Amino acid sequence: MTPDPLPAEFSLIARHFRPLAGAGALDLGDDAAVLAPPPGRDLVVAADAMVGGVHFLPDDPPDLVARKLLRTNLSDLAAMGAAPLGYLMTVSAPRTTPDAWFAAFAAGLAQDQAEFGVTLLGGDTTSTPGPVSLSLTILGTVAPGEAIRRVGAQPGDLLFVTGTLGDGALGLRAARGEIADPDGYLADRYRLPRPRLGVARHGIVAAALDVSDGLVQDVGHLCRAAGCGAEIRAADLPLSPSARALLPQALTTILTGGDDYELAMAVRPEHAAALRDSAVPVTCIGRFVEGPAHVSVRDADGTEVPVAAGGWSHFA
Amino acid sequence: MTPDPLPAEFSLIARHFRPLAGAGALDLGDDAAVLAPPPGRDLVVAADAMVGGVHFLPDDPPDLVARKLLRTNLSDLAAMGAAPLGYLMTVSAPRTTPDAWFAAFAAGLAQDQAEFGVTLLGGDTTSTPGPVSLSLTILGTVAPGEAIRRVGAQPGDLLFVTGTLGDGALGLRAARGEIADPDGYLADRYRLPRPRLGVARHGIVAAALDVSDGLVQDVGHLCRAAGCGAEIRAADLPLSPSARALLPQALTTILTGGDDYELAMAVRPEHAAALRDSAVPVTCIGRFVEGPAHVSVRDADGTEVPVAAGGWSHFA
């Protein structure tokens, strides 16, 4: 009498996902993970979904898809000023998905787990008649009372952003072959966001979020939470050489396209110097002003740049 | 100058999901939720995905789909002996999904939030070109060291299950119109699992899991973790009147069909009386035995019932 065999699903999980499991994950062999939360810290939790054909292109390399999934969630922690702890993930994939896809997907996660110091805690793998559908829940921690919120800006605050803007949205168009991207820089930025962990720090940043729906819309979130307006100076937008080469046509995409995953932050003027002392470049692109929750963009001579309302929405 | 409008996605979240948000969720308006974990408790976390056409039928009422999603995750906490705390959820739905679908989906969640004492902490809503694709991550807590694992059975332990077996898998066939279900009992059991919170308690239950892949396969998990076998007495399987009416043809489905979400538990004989003192009926259906990790099923006269290997797998 030999032990009963296990179906293929368990083999797939054991080969590809179990090596990613960390402390508390119980080798992914139980119904749940068990972990002792770091004492004296608050938990910070967020979840994001990514769907093939919506958030990534069907031909995107699976390792980059996996890393983007993890990084968009890490970006949420970065916006809250939190440190990452671990993650749970569900993967729904067509039954015909080749084993090599899962292997590459897991390899991407392994790479970023090492880079960001997180491990897989649990999840689920299922089939789907539709495109690959991914969901990831990130767990992090922050000192009690030190989470950075979207609310907290006030008139007179400076508006800072990390890195460069517009590369994500332009990169999507580059990946689709719609615009020139000779060295592939933009497409890489679309496929692999850089979560800006450690930049938004309590006591320095008054309010923050990550720019995922488009700069104007996301700064609008900070305005609505604070009950004030904001003015953005188009000439001060930090742009990569690749994005700058696409001006002036690219300006609307830079202002309203999504997928940047840079941080937008409200900072009291007296804290600006401390913020500039970050590992990541930060740029002041405007300020918060008295008035309704409107975001105006002005060019170098002060003329308002017309911006179509809103950013990306999944539902019309 | 009027405040900038928000796209439809935010309106959808505000109308349907914000009313479900609890303490720490920050009204779903931030990049993440922030919560102080109950001091002196371990965290227990699990995630399950559900896909239209795979885990539920396209015509299933959305409130029942939502409640099944939450309940399958609560069942994972029940198997670990944990108490629920809250959940995060991602919903990917076709762009044409009517508002009434979201309203009914949220109403189902509200109903079960009240029943099980949990609230929504965060998540994401996206479009998909495929079927509705759902993912839920549940957070719970347990006293340190008191989580119940799949490992822990030993030869001589009794095998207990909660409730009745086979209703879920038979209910799927009933919902498809393949078998008779005059009063709709089986289809209801398929659509609405009963998470057995509070039954698997530390000091009484040595090992446990929830029966989601099929009884024989899931008891096999307990056997493999323990390095022993198990014998199930077919005559002692707790069956609903609806399932019993379908014997003997239904026996294979009862033994290997999934979707029961009852608990299978290894219990030392001296703890059986304490286990029976549960709010939910429990039944002893066999015992763990020395030998390889094989699950045998015997009928009333001791003859082994042949059971095809394995249960449900998403990947061939």
Cα distance between residue B289 and residue B156, in whole Å: 6
**If you count residue pairs, one on A and one on B, with CB atoms under 8 Å apart, how many are there?**
291
SS3 state of residue A87: strand
Instruction: Name residues 261-280 of chain A within 8 A of B (Cβ).
Output: none
Q: What angle do CA B258, B284, B186 make, to 5 degrees?
A: 35
CB-nearest to A4 from B35, B91, B309 is: B309
CB proximity B38 to A under 8 Å: no
For A143, which residue in chain B has the nearest alpha carbon?
Answer: B36
Rg (CA), chain A: 21
Q: Between chains, do A133 and B294 touch, taking CB under 8 Å as contact?
A: no
Distance from the B272 Cα atom to the nearest Cα atom in chain A, whole angstroms: 23
Q: Residue B297: list chain A partners with CB under 8 A.
A: none
Within 8 A by CB and 6+ apart from A192, the residues are A64, A67, A68, A71
Residue A293: other Cβ atoms inside 10 A: 20
Q: What is the pLDDT of residue B1?
A: 46
Q: Between chains, do B135 and A51 touch, taking CB under 8 Å as contact?
A: no
Pairing of strands B158-162, B262-267: antiparallel
Q: Residue B4: list chain A partners with CB under 8 A.
A: 216-217, 220, 293-295, 309-310
CB-nearest to B6 from A34, A128, A310 is: A310
Cα distance between residue A301 and residue A281, in whole Å: 26
Question: Does position A34 have pLDDT exceeding 80, yes or no?
Answer: yes
Distance from the B239 Cα atom to the nearest Cα atom in chain A, whole angstroms: 24
For B216, which residue in chain A has the nearest alpha carbon?
Answer: A4
Contact B256, B215 (CB under 8 A): yes
CATH of domain B8-28+37-142: 3.30.1330.10
Architecture of the domain defined by B158-298: Alpha-Beta Complex (3.90)
Cα distance between residue B126 and residue B135, in whole Å: 12
Structure tokens at B68: 């099944």
Question: Does position A132 have pLDDT exceeding 80, yes or no?
Answer: yes
Test mutation, A71, A137, A139, A222, chain B, max B CBs within 10 A: A137
Cα distance between residue B64 and residue B105, in whole Å: 8
According to CATH, the superfamily of the domain at A8-142 is PurM-like, N-terminal domain (3.30.1330.10)
Q: Residue B224: list chain A partners with CB under 8 A.
A: 3
Cα distance between residue B91 and residue B95, in whole Å: 12
pTM over 0.90: yes
Read off the pLDDT of residues A143-178 as tens digits, 9 standing for 90 and up: 999 999 999 999 999 999 999 999 999 999 999 899
* Arithmetic mean of pLDDT over chain A: 92
Q: To which H or E segment does residue B99 belong?
A: helix B99-116
Structure tokens at B15: 């109308």
Query: Which of A66-70, A268-272, B210-214, B287-291 is predicted least confidently?
Result: B210-214
Cα distance between residue B41 and residue A28, in whole Å: 21
Distance from the B43 Cα atom to the nearest Cα atom in chain A, whole angstroms: 5
CB-nearest to A8 from B4, B144, B313 is: B313
Q: Between chains, do B314 and A133 touch, taking CB under 8 Å as contact?
A: no
Q: Between chains, do A45 and B53 touch, taking CB under 8 Å as contact?
A: no
CB proximity A127 to B under 8 Å: yes
Residue A224 to residues A65, A205, A230, B251, Cα–Cα distance (Å): 32, 17, 10, 60
Structure tokens at A105: 């997907």
Structure tokens at A99: 């084993």
Q: What angle do CA A198, A203, A204 make, to 5 degrees?
A: 60
Query: Which of A132-141, A237-246, B32-41, B143-152 is predicted least confidently?
Result: B32-41
Q: According to CATH, where is 3.90.650.10 located in chain A?
A: 158-298
Read off the pLDDT of residues A260-307 as tens digits, 9 standing for 90 and up: 999 999 999 999 999 999 889 999 999 999 999 999 999 989 899 988
* Arithmetic mean of pLDDT over chain B: 92
Q: What is the pLDDT of residue A4?
A: 56
Pairing of strands A120-127, A42-51: unpaired
Q: Between chains, do B128 and A54 touch, taking CB under 8 Å as contact?
A: yes
This complex has an ipTM of: 0.92
Contact A255, A215 (CB under 8 A): yes
Q: According to CATH, where is 3.30.1330.10 located in chain A?
A: 8-142
Question: Does position B3 have pLDDT exceeding 60, yes or no?
Answer: no
Instruction: Name residues 181-200 of chain A within 8 A of B (Cβ).
Output: none
For A96, which residue in chain B has the nearest alpha carbon?
Answer: B315
Per-residue DSSP letter, A290: S
Residue A147 to residues A86, B146, B214, Cα–Cα distance (Å): 18, 31, 44
- Of A65, A61, A83, A62, give the one whose Cα is nearest residue A74: A83
SS3 state of residue B311: coil
Q: Between chains, do A150 and B36 touch, taking CB under 8 Å as contact?
A: no
